[in-house]
Chains A and B, each alone.
Chain A
């Protein structure tokens, strides 16, 4: 082609089919996450250290429960790391750098962008479940086989709830504040929010069971230890997911 040609664009610009766009963006984001050293540390290495560390402590003292209680809790912690902390921080900085605004102008659009991010979270969570679950099995974890189905339900719903909450923070405050808030919340919810270790179901401590971290931890523990679905925690988690999506839809700012 030469600069002197005066033809109009020969083929009209067309978007790729919606499924192709969402799949492409989900895989693009998942690859970027897995290539990011800091993300990998939060998503895989830290939960793995928690799993092995608590298992070792359990061998020395009964204060810490056994691997059958710890393993689903650590999986809950890992889901929170990818969906909430990882996605929140990444989205916060993308918003600050104008990446969200740019992507919103492409055929991906805002809806495709969110679906792609959700797909990326599920891809990373799948890898977390395989790696951490494999490590837990090696340490003696014996999950109820039927309960693994409920575990997957909890993982998907938990990923949806924490992604919505992470995006809510990323879309309303500055990137630096998102970084601080999501990390602090992750540590607090992991340490004392019922994700890794079960909460007391009696007294004022039972109020903490309404936290999304506790709801996720309870659902996953019940699934793998009893092979059943913990309906109340699941409903609490669904409530957080719905509230997160509605709030993000209301207050999320792209720029």
Chain B
């Protein structure tokens, strides 16, 4: 099995910009972030826009100096670290960071020459399917092609830990599949992967551990199973947290019916999506389900279909993101 030793630790990291003397004052971007990432695991950082994900990565990579707190990247402080540490870490920036007037092959060969034992270029070309545009100036490439080149540039040094900021942004489904396969391959090789994404489905399928950032702090963290409470499902018991339920109504439920027999107050009412499909959140146990059943009886409704939806990372994300 891959080693699970920590390759990145952020403890109580704060980051502020501005000056107390300026008109805008000091703005705190990170207010005490704690994140640990392990070798051979995919650590996903998610959060709404402006939550501090890219700033967190910038500090972890050594591009930014934290205002407070400690950062340990492969056992060293990354800010102003030497070449020995930088050679062990691969970085893919959100805006790709690629020179525009260079051909991908030239760039990748150059980055490769900065390392003693780089990843074989031909292997990376094959894994990321780069051969079709290696001789085209980077400025002429599509967004997805640039993303794949940026990922290759992050990996060409054969790193022990790789940071991927939005690696699948702008990728078509085939390219996304290639990137997913490569990330899974990296994991099997014991390489630590820290990535940010807005695609929660992607996060759920890839992540060994997830950190949800909001307003510069980690508001939830754990494995996907821990966050969604789906571990309870595997041993046959209802989860302790509430789960969304969907039922299909064979007819429209009128406003008059809802006025005379409202949804049980213990249950959060959902929306009447297509006119006949209802989502109900707040079912925490058999008692809540019984109340819902009584309500169906009250309005003389026999649902055409009833299903519990497994809680997803997206559900958790919305729970913590919505004020």
Contacts and interface: CB of A to CB of B under 8 A. Distances in A.
Interface of A: 3-9, 11-16, 18, 20-21, 24-25, 28, 32, 36, 93-94, 97-99, 101-109, 112, 254-255
B2 A6 contact: yes
B158 A15 contact: no
A16 B86 CA distance: 11
3 nearest A-B residue pairs (beta carbon): A102-B97, A8-B190, A98-B97
Contacts of B62: 105
A14 B84 contact: yes
A255 B62 CA distance: 13
B64 to A, nearest CB: 9
Interface residues of B, number: 45
A103 B100 CA distance: 14
A21 B89 CA distance: 17
B91 A105 contact: yes
Contacts, number: 122
Contacts of B190: 6-9
A202 to B, nearest CB: 46
Contacts of B116: 14-16
A87 to B, nearest CB: 14
B281 interface: no
Interface stretch (B107-115, B227-235, B283-291): B107-115
Contact of B88 (A8, A13, A104, A254): A13
Interface string B79-119: 00011101111010101111111100010001101111100
A104 B99 contact: no
B111 A13 contact: no
B159 interface: yes
Nearest to A24: B113
Interface stretch (B25-33, B180-188, B209-217, B255-263): B180-188
B157 interface: yes
B87 A94 contact: no
A8 B3 contact: yes
B189 interface: yes
Contact of A97 (B2, B91, B98, B160): B98
Interface string B135-166: 00000000000000000010001111000000
